[in-house]
Amino acid sequence: MHFCTKALHVKNIDTHKAMRFPIYQNSAFEASNSKELEEFFKGKKDGHVYSRSSNPTVSAYESAVTQISKAHGAIAFSSGMAAIANLFFSLLKARDNFIASKHLFGNTISLFDTLFKDLEVEVRYVDSIDEVASKIDAKTRFFFCETISNPQLSVIDFKALKKILKGYKIPFIADTTMTPWNIFDAKENGIDIEVLSATKWLSGGGQVLGGMVLDYGSYDWKNAFNLAPFYEKYNQNALLFKLRKETFRNLGACLTPQSAYLLNLGLETLDLRVKYSCENAYKLSKSLEKRGLKVRYPFLDSFKYSSLAKKSFEYGGALVCIEFEDKKRAYEFMDRLKIFKRGTNILDNKSLAIAPYHTIYAEFSSSQKELWEIKEGLVRLSVGLEAYEDLEADILEAL
Ligand SMILES: Cc1ncc(COP(=O)(O)O)c(C=O)c1O
């Protein structure tokens, strides 16, 4: 089955066969007797006990994601940042380290450079995959990058990196927010664990916050020192169980049933929305480049990552970046836009514009921003579902 068909016809697990799994709006669930309640707690029997640990609507959404991706299992969270934090807290202990691409979403860097630093977790940033091997030691727990980085739009050679990581038995984690399952086969590209912000494309247009962790079942958890007690009990489900039974439950970043319902609806139209906005973004990037603007887009031949992007993804994503000479010019442009809204989200149904240097990365120093290639005049456009002609006209008018 094609992705769009699969997404519309996930297994119906509602008792009443409602076409869309309903919202189970409540916090606790009743057991038939005391013994059953004990069995739920001891994991001897499956069932919902308390919505901070699991909820039927949230489980239906997790099951839908598992069915339409190639994942072995998936867990939903209250936001993308919650998914990243819970995943990493599950894999790390104090004085561990991990390797990460230096091109990352601002809040992710903020988490690494503040909370993780306080907990004595070291992040070893790299510029290219050639630096990875030399950064690995006995305390290195994983490698992390974004499939298309936000906002630089950089891409790495996933398969080449996988070969290196495999040699050291290090898991490969990627933030795939920019590249959902219909345009990127994470498993085929060697990614062991996927983490993403469901707030973006999955939510069906910026309606709710959400996050996901997907385990593809490809990493042998026997090699993960920190998961040893869970590996003994749950084998290849070690990460999913550690997340569910420990980190997730204890930190409490659960997805609400209403959000799960909307995310489930979002999955039904994901394929159409993703491909439509990617096509809009591609056309826009070509048109702007033709007019002599400095444009970044993963599928533009002039862009330094285009061959890697075309090798890995079916579409180039929906972010287009324009580099203006300075802040003044960037702001003049943004303030003249009528259809593109000035706002901080991405991959919404509506097209959005922001200058990341002065907003998302405002708390960082100018030398850090220079290192991460985030310039003062950079405008990030998130291209939505409007008619292409209207978007192009809006931009040209603003220019
Ligand atoms: C690549 C990426 N990862 C993670 C996040 C965090 O997601 P959320 O806002 O759902 O916490 C974002 C948010 O913009 C993002 O762009």
Indicate the pTM of the whole model: 0.97
pLDDT at residue 12 in the model: 85
151 preceded by a cis bond (ω within 30 of 0): yes
Nearest to 156 by CA among 189, 107, 111: 189
Q: Give 54-101 pLDDT, tens digit per residue.
A: 999 999 999 999 999 999 999 999 999 999 999 999 999 999 999 999
pLDDT at residue 51 in the model: 96
Top pLDDT among 205 and 372 is at: 372
Q: Read off the pLDDT of each residue in 215-238 and give the average, rounded to a whole number.
A: 95
Annotated domain spans of the chain? 3-259, 271-398
Q: Read off the pLDDT of each residue in 348-369 and give the average, rounded to a whole number.
A: 95
Q: What is the mean pLDDT of the chain?
A: 96
* Helices 388-398 and 257-290: angle between axes, nearest 10 degrees: 60
Contact 227, 282 (CB under 8 A): no
What DSSP string runs through 22-70? PP---SB---SSHHHHHHHHHTSS----BTTT--HHHHHHHHHHHHHS-
Beta-carbon contacts of 325 under 8 Å, excluding residues fewer than 6 positions away, are: 377
Beta-carbon contacts of 379 under 8 Å, excluding residues fewer than 6 positions away, are: 321, 322, 323, 324, 330, 333, 334, 353, 354, 355
| pLDDT over 90 (residue 263) | yes
| CA dist., res. 155 & res. 181, Å (int) | 17
| CA dist., res. 391 & res. 308, Å (int) | 28
């038995």: which residue's tokens? Answer: 169
Spell out which residues line ligand 1, taking CB within 6 angstroms. 79-81, 105, 107-108, 146, 150, 175, 177, 197, 199, 209, 211, 346
| CA dist., res. 397 & res. 291, Å (int) | 13
CATH class of 271-398: alpha beta
Q: Quick one: what percent of the chain has pLDDT higher than 90?
A: 97
pLDDT at residue 136 in the model: 98
Nearest to 61 by CA among 208, 176, 186, 247: 208
* Helices 257-290 and 56-68: angle between axes, nearest 10 degrees: 40
pLDDT at residue 192 in the model: 98
Minimal-distance CA residue to ligand 1 atom 9: 80
Q: Read off the pLDDT of each residue in 382-396 and give the average, rounded to a whole number.
A: 98
Q: Read off the pLDDT of each residue in 266-274 and give the average, rounded to a whole number.
A: 97
Nearest to 129 by CA among 96, 168, 83, 71: 168
| Ligand 1 probe mutation, 178, 199, 203, 209, most atoms within 8 A of CB | 199
| Ligand 1 probe mutation, 78, 104, 105, most atoms within 8 A of CB | 105
Q: Read off the pLDDT of each residue in 91-120 and give the average, rounded to a whole number.
A: 96
What DSSP string runs through 313-364? -SS--SEEEEE-SSHHHHHHHHHH-SSSEE-S--S-SS-EEE-GGGTTTTTS
Minimal-distance CA residue to ligand 1 atom 10: 80
User: Could you tell me the distance, in angstroms and rounded to a whole number, from the CA of residue 319 to the centre of ligand 1?
Assistant: 14
* Distance spanning both ends of the chain, measured CA to CA: 44
pLDDT at residue 206 in the model: 85
pLDDT at residue 216 in the model: 97
**Domain 3-259 falls under CATH 3.40.50.720:** no
